[in-house]
Amino acid sequence: MRILIKNGKIVTAADSYQADILIEDEKIVAIETNSAASADQVFDAAGRYVFPGAIDVHTHLDMPFGGTVTADDFTTGTTAAAAGGTTCIVDYALQTPGKTLGEALEAWHKRADGKCAIDYGFHVAVTDLNDAVLTEMPALINKGYPSFKVFMAYKGVFQVDDSTLLKVLKKSGEAGGLVLVHAENGDVIDVLCREMLAAGHTEPLYHALSRPPEAEEEAVNRFITMAQLSGAPAYIVHLSDAGALARVAEARLQGYPVYAETCPQYLFLDLDRYNEPNFGGAKYVMSPPLREAGNEEFLWSGLASGNLQVVASDHCSFNFKGQKDLGRGNFTKIPNGAPGLETRVQLLYDGGVDGGRFSINKFVDLVSTAPARLFGLYPQKGTIAAGSDADLVIFNPEAPFTFSQATQHQNVDYNPYEGYSGKGVPEQVFSRGALVIDNGKFVGKVGHGRFQPRKPFSGL
């Protein structure tokens, strides 16, 4: 099967130029001006950008959490991702205490294999370290799982202690892995939660007040210090706070391989959301929480300057009715997380490129190229080049959109960006040469998505 995409403006992290793209089966085979190649199907991309499929390296699909299971599974989640211009995700397999990392991966493969509309991979979260787990790590890196997650929060559930952090960093660094961290001080948060509940504060707002910026700043600082001690590269997920960003910037200035991602929710939403009436604030209960208005401009600057390298969604959807509800009367029982797989790319284009904060090349870097490089998928993914996978988005920068729960593909009963409108729509999305989205409609196949083993960490 040969597909020709004609007349589009190709955009990569490095440059933008007018050319045609020839796809043969799953791969890009040629990029040339005024192509006369024959093809089975031709798409006219005049007036459109063509950029590499976006990669979302932080998702939670079909994940048991907070006494329930996320609303999106691998089918609805990857379909929604495709609708938003994302063609590859990296989800988290969570170790069950007492079991191996291999068993966690086996369980997550069962959840995902045969059920995805786009390609996928896994990080693995270490929640219970022992010698056998340390021995497993190098073997997993060589099998295509080169990234390990540790949690400094969620006391009594996923949280690990400092000795675990250091040991995981050392082993991962020696073996060619990258350690990802949820950086909030879980012990401090635990005390504050108890104090607030004891004082009768049960509403969603207290989720945010019990997780202050200082809890994130302290954990980021501690984790970076341990990364420096171990010499290992380190990556902070869902960084939300200006003070934490300053610590990352300082370490990078000193030459340490410290990387960080932020998420659209910290760029577009703020603390005031927790005051939505009728328990509506529960829709925004996530960790770290939304911050004070004004904080987001520091994050936008961090993206523009390069101190933040990736924008991921941290998609972790729970229905308002029946799931978020579990925390009426006790904010600590509200399942943590919010949907965002489908809206990530358009939000970042709208706020970043249309908003004049950075170039379209920087945008491509943040949503596709840098994640591909950091997580061992480049140049198979994350760019437009002969030989790369034909994961492509034909994007109309003039087309208007309005986000709404009523029209989304995400399988959840609300959209945190309900009513948000802007410009820039992924009109056609290709996953390894297969058209999966055509003018907002899913036209792909569940099961087309394939597990992508990733290469060891090699920098950015």
Q: Summarize as ranges the residues that interact with Zn ion (CB under 5 A).
A: 182, 314
User: Distance between the two ends of the chain, CA-based, in angstroms?
Assistant: 34
Instruction: Residue 177: name its binding partner from Zn ion, ligand URP, none (Cβ under 5 to 8 Å by kind).
Output: none
Look at the chain and count its residues: 460
Taking CB under 6 A as the criterion, which residues in 46-85 touch ligand URP? Answer: 60
Judged by CB under 6 A, does residue 286 bind ligand URP? Answer: yes
The binder of 252, among Zn ion, ligand URP, none, by C-beta within 5 to 8 A per type, is none
The site partner of 317 among ligand URP, Zn ion, none (C-beta below 5 to 8 Å per kind) is none
Q: How far is the CB of 35 from ligand URP (least distance, A)?
A: 44
**Distance from C-alpha of 210 to C-alpha of 274, rounded to nearest angstrom:** 13
Q: In terms of CB distance, is 256 or 279 closer to ligand URP?
A: 279
88, 120, 176, 253 from 262: Cα distances, Å: 18, 20, 24, 19
- The least CB distance from residue 158 to ligand URP, in Å, is 8
**Site mask, ligand URP, residues 382-411, x = CB under 6 A?**
------------------------------
C-beta of 61: minimal distance to Zn ion in Å?
11
> How far is Cα 353 from Cα 360, in angstroms, rounded to an integer?
6
Candidates 83, 179, 316, 434; binder of ligand URP (CB under 6 A) is 316
Q: Minimal distance in Å, beta carbon 184 to Zn ion?
A: 8
Tokens of 447: 């099961």
CB of 403 to ligand URP, least distance (A): 20
Report, in Å, the least distance between residue 152 CB and ligand URP: 10
Q: Which of 314, 342, 389, 391 binds ligand URP (CB under 6 A)?
A: 314
- Tell me the helix, strand and coil percentages in the chain, rounded to 5: 35, 25, 40
Q: Which does 76 bind (CB under 5 to 8 A by kind): ligand URP, Zn ion, none?
A: none
Residue 336 interacts with which of Zn ion, ligand URP, none, CB < 5 to 8 Å by class: ligand URP
Give phi and psi for 208, each to the nearest 5.
-70, -40
Contact in structure between 288 and 37 (CB atoms under 8 Å): no
Q: What Cα–Cα distance (Å) separates residue 153 from each residue in 7, 183, 211, 258?
A: 49, 7, 10, 20
- Vertex 115 angle, CA 112 and 119, to 5°: 75
Map the footprint of ligand URP across residues 179-218, applying CB under 6 A. Answer: 182
Tell whether residue 332 is a contact of ligand URP (CB under 6 A).
no
Near ligand URP by CB under 6 A: residue from 78, 287, 346, 369? 287
How far apart are alpha carbons 112 and 109 in whole angstroms? Answer: 5
Alpha helices in 202-310 (DSSP H): 205-209, 213-230, 242-253, 264-268, 295-305
Binding pattern for the stretch 154-183 against ligand URP, x by CB under 6 A and - elsewhere: ----------------------------x-
Q: What are the distances in angstroms from CA 146 to CA 1, 137, 233, 268, 331?
A: 33, 8, 12, 31, 35
What, of ligand URP, Zn ion, none, does residue 315 touch, CB below 5 to 8 Å by kind? none
Q: Which of residues 333-352 bind ligand URP (CB under 6 A)?
A: 336-337
CB 65 within 8 A of CB 337: yes
The angle that helices 295-305 and 242-253 make with each other, rounded to 10 degrees, is 20
Taking the complex as a whole, the smallest distance from the CB of residue 287 to ligand URP amounts, in Å, to 4
Q: Quote the CA–CA distance of 86 and 367 in Å, as a whole number.
A: 9
Handedness of CA 298, 304, 305, 308 (dihedral sign): positive
Contact 392, 368 (CB under 8 A): no
Q: Which is nearer to ligand URP, 45 or 234 (CB)?
A: 234
CA 208 to chain centre: 21
| Residue 220 binding ligand URP, by CB under 6 A | no
Distance in Å, CB of 330 to Zn ion, minimum:
21
Cα gap 53→208, rounded to integer Å: 34
364 close to 349: Cβ distance less than 8 angstroms: no
Our CB check for ligand URP shows the closer of 270 and 314 to be 314
**CB 154 to Zn ion: min, Å:** 8
Tokens of 276: 């939505």
Residues 150, 101: Cα–Cα separation, whole Å: 13
**Binding partner at 307 among Zn ion, ligand URP, none, C-beta below 5 to 8 Å by kind:** none
Residue among 238 and 362 whose Cβ is closer to Zn ion: 238
Please say which residue, 35 or 185, places its beta carbon nearer to ligand URP: 185
Encoded one letter per residue, x for contact with ligand URP by CB under 6 A and - for no contact, window 236-275 reads --x-------------------------------------
- What residues line the site for ligand URP (CB under 6 A)? 60, 182, 238, 286-287, 314, 316, 336-337
